[in-house]
Structure 1
Amino acid sequence: MAIEKMEMGEVGTSLMSSETKPPPARPPNKFERLFQPCLAELVGTTFFVFIGCVSVIENVESAGRLQPALVHGLAVAVMVACMAEISGSHFNPPFTLAIYLCGGMELNMVAPYLVSQLVGGVLGAAMAKVMTSRENFSKASGAAFALLQTDSDIGAAVFGEVAMTCLVTMVVLLGAVNTTTRSPMVPFMVGCTVIINILAGGDVSGTCLNPARAFGPAIVHNYWVYHWVYWVGPITGGLIAAVLVRLLLGDRKIRLILK
């Protein structure tokens, strides 16, 4: 009798463990490894730039910088939360470069991500042009960054883009890549960082922080005045953030020195 009970207990344990044991994970196929992440970057960047451009083109003067700040920040937070498990939710060339330098992605995906983001920026700006009136679109220069008009403003604008992109890139790296500081709150943190950056530096440089966000409207509206600022500044800021995390702030797996 005792043997029978023991055998029944063993069977019961076996059945219970078989019910709770998760099925073996299926390795991702080629579509999931290569094409789906690029599509996610394309779609995510498209809608981010679309919503951001519309918020600038249709901005109410009484709202000042608050309307574009909230729209860009909340759009980033939503898209990051939705696409994070597909592509990592970069939507920004400096983020992709910094994440690669910190070991967060493979080299063979860097160029496809960058192309997807730039194409998404153009599509998003084109969608904004279709949605908004011709008068408002032209008045806002298609949501391209038309704030800089003289050489005397360039130094402050470049520094602002470098510093603010460095800040938001560090939030991305420490919140999503670095193991010891990784947080499920990273979509909220990145969105909040975008909001405070736009509120703080919107009147200095326009607070681009993203070459794809600048490139799309520049193509669609054909506005290229001081456009290089919005490539040099954000990319430099992203690289500085990557160096800080790689050398000093990262965990032992990421940090190259002082391990």
Structure 2
Amino acid sequence: MTEEKMELGGVGTSLVASDTKKAPVKPLNTFERLVQPCLAEMVGTMFFVFIGCVSVIENVETAGRLQPALVHGLAVAVLVACMAEISGSHFNPPFTMAIYLCGGMKRYMVVPYLISQLIGGVIGASMSKVMTSKDNYAKAHGAAFTILQSDEQLLGALFGEMAMTCLVTTVVLLGAVNAKSSSPMVPFMVGCTVIINVLAGGDVSGTCLNPARALGPAILANYWTYHWVYWVGPITGGLVAAALVRLLLGDRKTRLVMK
């Protein structure tokens, strides 16, 4: 790895692995090391939430779950590929927590990343409200997750959010943090996993998998019914994924036991 990538590794693990040799570069300055990664997390989350919300609000009935699934997955792939070398392209609080727990970033950047992602989610949701029609926005509750309407749905939705977030977080950790399984295909892999999850679980929980994606629309639409599910499920799933990699699936450097 180059000196530049090693320096970035102290901020947030890149989701794009590369073996390309580059000429030595100057160490990152304070702005590039501390401020720019947080700005990238905010901007990346902002555009992800913006595009995702618009796809739900303006969803064509004949497209069903396919339209939001493709939009969310392709948006993730593009944004990860573009900003991986700046911040690591987390754009999701459970990703940040899991990457930190697996040794992929410094502790002092965790809280700034989380705050940047949540702010980006609110800005993105605001942008979607400006762009979409009032009737469609009201009908879709600003793309807040409204599929949960009774306690009978609760267990399945909560488990779904946890399991599906665990899946996509495991892909991130094995593809970007774990040296033995790292791959330059990570943007594609993560995007495809998001598409698969939305298609599989959209009718059960809405497939949020990201508290930043849930918070912005909830604030703008003032819709909080079962909102906690979209925090507890994804965060738990991210922690389970981190445990799997740290204890069982990681290489000797990442794994804590049975080295």
State the Cα distance separating 1:207 from its structure 2 match.
0.2
Aligned partners of 1:119, 1:24: CA distance in 2, in Å? Answer: 35
State the Cα distance separating 1:23 from its structure 2 match.
5.3
More helix by share: 1
Q: Deviations over 1:47-106 (max 9, x none)?
A: 000000000000000100000000000000000000000000000000000000000000
State the Cα distance separating 1:25 from its structure 2 match.
2.0
Aligned partners of 2:24, 2:133: CA distance in 1, in Å? Answer: 53
**Pair 1:209 & 2:244 matched:** no
Number of positions where the alignment pairs a residue of Structure 1 with one of Structure 2: 239
**SS in structure 2 opposite 1:137?**
helix
Aligned partners of 1:175, 1:205: CA distance in 2, in Å? Answer: 26
**Pair 1:228 & 2:228 matched:** yes
Aligned partners of 2:104, 2:127: CA distance in 1, in Å? Answer: 31
Aligned partners of 2:102, 2:153: CA distance in 1, in Å? Answer: 33
Structure 2's unaligned 5+ residue stretches are 1-20
State the Cα distance separating 1:22 from its structure 2 match.
6.9
Q: Percent identity?
A: 79
Report the residue type matching 1:208 in the other structure: C
Which one has the largest radius of gyration?
1
1:187 — aligned with what?
Answer: 187
**Pair 1:134 & 2:138 matched:** no
Report the residue type matching 1:241 in the other structure: A
Length-normalised TM-score, structure 1: 0.91
Change (3 A) 1:23 1:99: closer
TM alignment of 1:92-131, pairs within 5 A: 92-131=92-131
2:63 — aligned with what?
Answer: 63
Length-normalised TM-score, structure 2: 0.91
Aligned partners of 2:24, 2:168: CA distance in 1, in Å? Answer: 37
Pairwise CA RMSD of aligned residues?
A: 1.0
Report the residue type matching 1:252 in the other structure: R
Aligned partners of 1:204, 1:96: CA distance in 2, in Å? Answer: 25
Change (3 A) 1:104 1:150: same
2:254 — aligned with what?
Answer: 254
**SS in structure 2 opposite 1:129?**
helix
Q: Deviations over 1:8-59 (max 9, x none)?
A: xxxxxxxxxxxxx975420000000000000000000000000000000000
Structure 1's unaligned 5+ residue stretches are 1-20
Report the residue type matching 1:160 in the other structure: G
Aligned partners of 1:218, 1:115: CA distance in 2, in Å? Answer: 17
1:85 — aligned with what?
Answer: 85
**Pair 1:36 & 2:36 matched:** yes
Aligned partners of 1:135, 1:106: CA distance in 2, in Å? Answer: 45
TM alignment of 1:148-163, pairs within 5 A: 148-163=148-163
**SS in structure 2 opposite 1:67?**
helix
Aligned partners of 1:24, 1:185: CA distance in 2, in Å? Answer: 25
Aligned partners of 1:204, 1:210: CA distance in 2, in Å? Answer: 16
